[in-house]
Amino acid sequence: MFTRVYLFERIRADRRVDPSVSQRELARRHQVSRRTVRAALASAVPPPRKPPVRGRPLALGPVLAAVDEMLRSDVVGPRKQRHTIERICQRLAVEHGFTDASYSTVRNYVARRRPEILAEAREGRGHLDGMVPQIHPPGEEAEVDFAEAFAVVGGTQMKSYLFTLRMSYSGKAVHRVFASQGQEAFMEGHVEAFRVLGGVPTRHIRYDNLKPAVRQVLFGRGRVESQRWVAFRSHYGFHAFYCLPGKDGAHEKGGVEHEGGRFRRNHLVPPPQVASLTELNDRLAEIDAAEDARHVHGAPASIGFNFAAEAPLLHPLPADDFELGTTLTPLVRRNARIVVRQCYYSVPARFIDRKVRVSLRANEVLVFDGRQVVARHPRLSRRYDYRDDLDHYLEILLVKPGALAGSTALAQARAEGSFTPVHDAFWAAARAAHGEAEGTRALIEVLLLHRQLPHAALVAGITATVNTGSCSPELVAIEARKAADAGIVADPSDAATPIDDGAEDGLALAEPADEPASGGARVISLHARRLPSGTDHKPPPMSVYDQLLSHRTKGTTA
């Protein structure tokens, strides 16, 4: 493409070849003016073209001051009541009798003039919308935020909430997933993060105006905080810095805003498939530890290297723990359920029409009778959802055996795998031998044995009983005790497990175990924890089953 630079180069080349050639001749050769020839000989770079200076449209000349005054009034007027082009034309016609300018002429002038008037109005009192880089001393500051994340838990996709606490200096972050972003999850996330970090930031932690912490947003930085949250901060000894509401506040803690999305895209895509949120949090803990080798963008050292210098500067953790659970006292209904945050949980039937103490935690619900845990459920997040434990209804089912087949507790036990095909086989044999009612009662007596015997041994006893053609609960008890005494099967879930507050767990159906029973059957535990073994907690005597003395004579074999 022929350009002025190329033209200048040709003119200068001709003069170098023939220094005697005149400017008139060069102008004739290249068909340009002598002014262009003089400019080419003076400089190899063409001078910039002067932009044409357009004057104000003549049509608006008489009313330019009036239009400018309308635009200036918009600067101080209500934001939603500013002049439109149509309104300016109307006022010019009515107030000034001016109709010579077209709509497009007014529009073009306003488009150019309005920004100028706005800049003039802001001069000296406005501010530039920008950011100032900050420095974060080690050990002083952290940022907290929640982010939504989906996971497949127990075969069902559910929306969970990713809690993130990020140290501002090193970039060290702790991530945990909860079923909700309520106050229990909010505080439990802090406790877990402080435990991993080994201390507490010395200056403050930055937050959005989250409901678990802030009850009311006042003018400026003023906030009315939740009393329980204030007690939590006081216990761990840190201050809260609340960012401005809206988008501007997000920039005040941009580190954790970016961190939540980065972690979700890198480690939660596709949605992880886990059996429980506890398993997912164990995975996240491993990922957090591995990310110590990562470098934050622009940082010469790794996260782990920087945090090693930051960790000794943190405040130490308090000696005692803070009670994180919210205490409630719901009434047990006639269906052996309690209502906690619009969700339904079963409790042992003996507590019907009584109030029980409930500790609502981030991912689980504990039901107490005094200091003893009588029921334990994973926390539900969807309104009107329910969680029933088959063991809680056995006393009622002894009186109403016909209600077992269609019960929600049995359906959940089957879906979780805790009610095994071995139980179904025994139930079918008992109904064939004794009829529907008595056969179901025989099954319920077997289910009651789960409170006293290890599950693996009991499944072995049921299998041996069914294989002999019997459906006697007494024979099941004998065979199960023989299997337990011989040590043929062992269920690790039957080990004693310490419970918070020194309490013992109730008799609840539990997760499937992995050990096979005798005969190749899969062993699945029907309860989460057993009574601790030892001199103080001996299992009930089984001598009543030593001899096959029973009121049932039909369908049994010795």
Per-residue pLDDT reduced to its tens digit, 506-548: 333 333 333 333 333 333 334 433 334 444 444 445 554 444 4
User: Which band of pLDDT confidence, cut at 50, 70 and 90, is reported for residue 125?
Assistant: low
For the chain, give the number of residues.
558
DSSP assigned state of 355? B
Determine contact, residues 170/307, Cβ cutoff 8 Å: yes
At 200, give phi and psi (nearest 5°): -125, 140
Instruction: For residue 402, give the amino acid letter.
Output: G
Give residue 124's pLDDT. 56
Give residue 58's pLDDT. 64
pLDDT at 424 over 70: yes
| HEC secondary structure over 367-382 | EEECCEEEEEEECCCC
pLDDT tens for 145-161 read 999 999 999 888 989 99
Give residue 216's pLDDT. 87
Q: What is the mean pLDDT of the chain?
A: 83
Give residue 144's pLDDT. 95
The continuous run of DSSP H or E covering 412 comes out as helix 408-416
Task: Of 253-262, 337-346, 451-460, 544-553, give the lowest mean pLDDT range.
Answer: 544-553
User: Which band of pLDDT confidence, cut at 50, 70 and 90, is reported for residue 128?
Assistant: low
Give residue 528's pLDDT. 39
Which of 402, 491, 411, 479 has its CA nearest to residue 446?
479
Distance CA 506, CA 441 (A): 22
What SS3 state is found at 356?
A: coil
Determine contact, residues 522/516, Cβ cutoff 8 Å: yes
- Name the strands in the sheet holding 372-378, side by side, starting at the edge strand that comes first in the sequence: 326-328, 357-360, 364-369, 372-378
Map tokens 């802001």 to a residue.
122
pLDDT tens for 348-395 read 999 999 999 999 998 889 999 988 999 999 988 888 999 999 999 999
Give residue 470's pLDDT. 87
pLDDT at 60 over 50: yes
Q: Which residues, in sequence order, are CB contacts of 134 under 8 Å at separation 6+?
A: none
Instruction: For residue 535, give the amino acid letter.
Output: T
- CA separation, residue 337 to residues 343, 348, 395 (Å): 10, 9, 15
Determine contact, residues 175/160, Cβ cutoff 8 Å: no
Q: Which residues, in sequence order, are CB contacts of 281 under 8 Å at separation 6+?
A: 176, 177
Map tokens 């608006």 to a residue.
60
User: Which band of pLDDT confidence, cut at 50, 70 and 90, is reported for residue 505?
Assistant: very low
pLDDT tens for 248-269 read 777 788 889 899 999 999 999 9
Handedness of CA 259, 264, 265, 267 (dihedral sign): positive
Distance CA 61, CA 209 (A): 53
Determine contact, residues 149/212, Cβ cutoff 8 Å: no
Determine contact, residues 149/160, Cβ cutoff 8 Å: yes
Determine contact, residues 363/282, Cβ cutoff 8 Å: no
Cα 265 versus chain centre, distance: 13
Give residue 127's pLDDT. 58
Give residue 244's pLDDT. 84
User: Which band of pLDDT confidence, cut at 50, 70 and 90, is reported for residue 51?
Assistant: confident
Determine contact, residues 30/11, Cβ cutoff 8 Å: yes
Q: Which residues, in sequence order, are CB contacts of 119 under 8 Å at separation 6+?
A: none
Distance CA 124, CA 159 (A): 50
- Mean pLDDT over 421-448 rounds to 91
Distance CA 491, CA 205 (A): 45
User: Which band of pLDDT confidence, cut at 50, 70 and 90, is reported for residue 56?
Assistant: low
| HEC secondary structure over 49-102 | CCCCCCCCCHHHHHHHHHHHHHHHHHHHCCCCCCCCHHHHHHHHHHHHCCCCCC
pTM of the predicted model over 0.95: no
Q: Which residues, in sequence order, are CB contacts of 501 under 8 Å at separation 6+?
A: 368, 371
Cβ-count burial of 342 within 10 angstroms (0-12 exposed, 13-18 middle, 19+ buried)?
exposed
What percent of the chain has pLDDT above 70? 85
pLDDT at 497 over 90: no
What SS3 state is found at 8?
A: helix
Distance CA 484, CA 491 (A): 10
End-to-end CA distance of the chain: 108
pLDDT tens for 23-34 read 999 999 999 999
Give residue 288's pLDDT. 94
- CA separation, residue 175 to residues 49, 160, 460, 496 (Å): 60, 12, 42, 30
| HEC secondary structure over 157-198 | EEEEEEEEEEECCCCCEEEEEECCCCHHHHHHHHHHHHHHHC
Instruction: Count Cβ atoms below 10 Å from residue 165 Cβ, excluding itself.
Output: 24
The DSSP secondary structure of 382-398, one letter per residue, reads STT-EE--GGGGHHHHH
User: Which band of pLDDT confidence, cut at 50, 70 and 90, is reported for residue 57?
Assistant: low
Handedness of CA 90, 96, 100, 101 (dihedral sign): negative
What percent of the chain has pLDDT above 90? 52
Give residue 531's pLDDT. 39
Instruction: Count Cβ atoms below 10 Å from residue 323 Cβ, excluding itself.
Output: 15
Which of 496, 493, 484, 490 has its CA nearest to residue 528?
493
Q: List the structure tokens of 178.
A: 């909860």
Instruction: Count Cβ atoms below 10 Å from residue 398 Cβ, excluding itself.
Output: 14
pLDDT tens for 169-212 read 999 999 999 988 889 999 999 999 999 999 999 999 999 888 88
Q: Which residues, in sequence order, are CB contacts of 131 under 8 Å at separation 6+?
A: 251
The continuous run of DSSP H or E covering 480 comes out as helix 473-486
Give residue 209's pLDDT. 86
pLDDT at 427 over 90: yes
Q: List the structure tokens of 10.
A: 């040709």
Give residue 518's pLDDT. 34
